[in-house]
Each structure stands twice: as C-alpha cells, then as structure tokens.
Amino acid sequence: MDMKKIIAGAKGSQNGVYRTASPLSMLFASATSGGKNVFYVLMMYAGYMANEGYGIAVAVTGIIMTVKTIFDGACDPVVAAIFDRMPVGRLGKMRKFLLIGYGTTSLAALLMYRLLACKFDGIVGLIVFCAIFALFVVGYTILSIGGTSIPTILTNDPKQRPFLNFTATLYQYVAPLLLNTILAFRILPAHNNRYDAACLAEACLVYIVIAVVFMLLSFIGLAPVDNEEVLGELMSLNGKNKKIGFKEMWNMLKSNKPLRCYIVTGTTDKIASKMSTDSIVMVMMSGILIANYQASTMINNAGAIIGLVFAFLGGAFIAKYGVKTSTIVWSYVNIALGAVLFVYCLILGPTRMSKIGVMGLPMMLYVALMMGKNAATMILNTAEGMMRADIADYELDRSGNFMPGTVGACYTFIEKFISSFGSTIVTFAVALIGYTSVMPQMGDTATWAVFWVTMILSVGMPVVGWICNIIAMKFYELDRERMVEIQKDIAEKKKALKAQAK
C-alpha cells in the first residue's frame, strides 16, 4: 500500500463537492475521544469504589451498574434533542456543549472518588453513591453526544473521514494506554497493588488533569467549524432551521434502515467490549492468570501501539473499499484471531498462563496475538465511527434534517440498554465462583473457574459480536458508491439553498 496515497487521503479530495478540514483540525478536534475515554476508564473502577468507599456489596454493585447504564441510555435522546435544537451562538455550539459535559463529569468524579468517599456507608452510602453516579451519567452523556457529532460536522470528504475516525481511534486507545501505565507503574505500587479508596482517589485527580488537556486540544480543532457559517448552513439545509424533536427521532429510527443495521453492529460489539474490558475481568486476566499486572500492562501497551500503526493503514483500506466491506473483512479477521487466542490460553491452562508474565516464548506468542487482535479491533472501531457519520449524511439527504446528535443518541439509547446487562453478567459470573463479598484482587489463586469465566467474557463474547457484524452488513446499503451519490445530492441542495437566499 502506497504511503503517499495514505497521507494524501488526510488532505482530502480537493473537490468542491465536499467540505474538507485541515489535517491539524482533524488531529486536534478528535481529542474529545481521548477526554471521554479518560472518564470511561476512571468509571470502570466505580465498582471497586462502591465496595471500598461506600460499603456496597459486590452483587448490589452489579445491579447499580445495570440501572446506571439504563438511565444513561434514557438520557441520550433528551440530550440529543437539546443538542440538535441548540442554535449556534457567537461562542459556537459544540464547544459550549462539550465544556458543560467535561465540567459535570469532572465534578462527579471528584465527589465520588475524593470528596465524599469513605464518609458514608449502609443505606446512606448507597443513596449518595447512586446520586453521584447519576450526575456523572448526565455529564458523560452530554460529552458523548457532542463528541459523536464531530466527524459529521468537521468533514464529509470520503477520503478524510476514515482518517478523522482514525485519529479519534488513536486518542481512544492512547488515553487508556497512558492511564493504565501510570496506574500500573506509579499509583498501584504506592498502594501495595490494591485498588483501595486511597489508590483510586489519587488516580481520579491524575485522570481529570489529563482529560482537561484533551478538552483544550479539541476546542482548538473545532474552532474553524463551530460557527454560524458552517453549522448554520447544515442546520437549515431543508429550507429552515428546523427544531428537532422526538417525532423526527422516531421517524428516523423507523425509516432509516442503515441506522438499524448500525445499531445491531455497534450494540453487539459494545456489550462484548464492555465485558472484556471490565476492570474485574482485567484483574482476573492480568493479576490472577498472568499473575503480573505490570508485565501484562506493558504487553497490552505494545499490542496497542503496533495496533495503531495497522489502524492507520486500515483507514486507507476503509477509504478504498468503504465501511461495509471493511466491517465484514475485519470481523472475519477478529473471529480468527479470537479463536487462536482462546486455544493458546487453553493449552497453557490457569496454572501455566503465568509464563506469559515472564520473558520468553509464551510471552512473545501472546504479544503477537494481542498485536493482531488490537489492530483488527481498531480498524473496526474506525469503520464504526465513519458509519455513524455516513448515516447522519444519509438522513440529511433523505429527510433534510441535520441530526448528528440524534443519530448517535438513537444508537446509544438501544446500545446502553442492552449493554447495561454487561456489568451485571460480570459481577454475577464472579459471584458464582466465590467472589460475593469482595472483588477479585491481584495474587488470588488461579483456578479453572477463574480461567473459564475470564476466557468467556474476554474472548468468547467479542466473537459473538463480530458474527453479528457480518450478519448486519448483509442488509446495510451505504457502500462506497452509494455514499458518493449522497454527497453529490447534498452538495446540489446546498447550491439551491444559496441560490434562493440571493
């Protein structure tokens, strides 16, 4: 694959039909993905804080996580309607929205991990924890709805969108890589390698500071498009600045078949991903089976870094073959790699997986498998982000309504409702093998029960999600050729709108 063509893709088609963005704007604006992921990673440890800082039992924590995710999904259409109806003011629209999201999530995190932790227990502790979590959900939803609209607004160039979504994927993986490295090598050792309240309080402060850096970068990148000239024109493409409501949402969900296919693809992937990356599952894999959390962190980091290189090449693959073909191809690749990883771990078994944590052939084989798995998964993530933007443009062409926030909300509402059961499944799964009053911790005994629960959640469930991808794409019509037609139609409508204004 010609690297010059890959780089040229980031510069765009240089065609007046498309709205293009500078490479620097794409690189900076996508930082929202990293900031959002900082809070996502931090809240992965909310179960530990509920147990350590508020005296809530493990099984109850799983139920709270499920209710929290359902509430999160219910907030999405409300926040999306507010976002799509919000006018563009002098200070823009997206940056104001994102600032509110960052501020609310940061406040909730500080309350949960530092200001109110270890001050309440019993029923009061449960109520306080749930109230803080609800505040976090509102802030995170605002942040998510604003962030998912960026690819649609920044550019509609088919050569640029894969690279824009690649940069978002880059931040999405770099943020956890950075955070997990700091946690594994700086914070955890200072707290006897235990996820106690003091450990998580320190991590909270570090994570929030990193999130602010990502926020500032995203504001710089959004400045060229977060104005009346760009957003105002898109919002009035149907002849007027239409107020988006629940009627338009329902009509889109009912009439937009590609959106329904996307929901199936994204939902199955997300529930599998949330279970496989759950903090409990990660502790069982890295701290109990591999029995070396620091070494496992470095292995995952190496896999992620190499994976990012392949994700960059994957962006060129998506630009050439389109989202539909790319999703099918890389889902098959992921299924094959997942099967090989499972067989490899099965051969080692629970007592010999600790060899992965020591330099040697077992570690090198595991690193190679993780590199391949991360690379293929990152390409799918890049395709998913581009799919959401394509669907928003399809809806703009179909109905005349510019609804990027609502497209994301329709998906996330259903995705969160279904994936809400992920945390419950994880906590009940570990409860079945004996973890009823305490969470799994590094150094616990590696048993076959721990092995099977970890493998099913971390490897088995993602394979099911990738199979669903392949099935859904059989009914997805927005291939590369169809999207070229849609962008031409939108460009003609914009010309007509400008002609009427003169």
Q: Give the residue carrying structure tokens 């400008």.
A: 498
pLDDT band for 14, please (50, 70, 90 cuts). Answer: low
Closest CA to 41 of 190, 288, 210, 290: 210
Q: Can you tell me the distance from the alpha carbon of 499 to that of 502, in angstroms, rounded to the nearest whole number? A: 5
Using 50, 70 and 90 to split pLDDT, how confident is the model at 245? Answer: low
In the chain, where the domains are located: 22-241+256-489
Contact 68, 133 (CB under 8 A): yes
Instruction: Evaluate if residue 50 carries a pLDDT over 50.
Output: yes
The C-alpha atoms of residue 361 and residue 62 are separated, in whole angstroms, by: 38
Residue 5 tokens, joined? 């063509």
For the ranges 142-156, 203-217, 232-246, 428-442, the lowest mean pLDDT is seen at 232-246
Distance CA 308, CA 378 (A): 7
pTM (2 decimals)?
Answer: 0.65
Of residues 338 and 250, the one with the higher pLDDT is 338
Of 34-48, 458-472, 482-496, least confident by mean pLDDT is 482-496
Decide if pLDDT at 281 tops 50: yes
Q: Are 39 and 212 in contact (CB under 8 A)?
A: no
CATH topology of domain 22-241+256-489: Growth Hormone; Chain: A; (1.20.1250)
Model pLDDT for residues 320-336, shown as the tens digit of each residue: 788 899 899 999 999 99
* Consecutive H or E run containing 355: none
pLDDT tens across 398-418, in order?
A: 887 777 777 777 777 776 666
Q: Which residues of 45-69 are buried (b: 16+ CB within 10 A; e: fewer)?
A: bbbbbbbbbbbbbbbebbebbbbbb
d(CA 19, CA 69): 36
Query: How open is the CA angle 74-78-153, to the nearest 5 degrees?
Result: 115
Residue among 433, 384, 118 at smallest CA distance from 280: 433
Percent of the chain with pLDDT over 90: 19
Q: How many Cβ atoms sit within 10 Å of the Cβ of residue 441?
A: 16
Give pLDDT tens digits for 154-181: 887 777 777 777 788 778 778 887 888 8
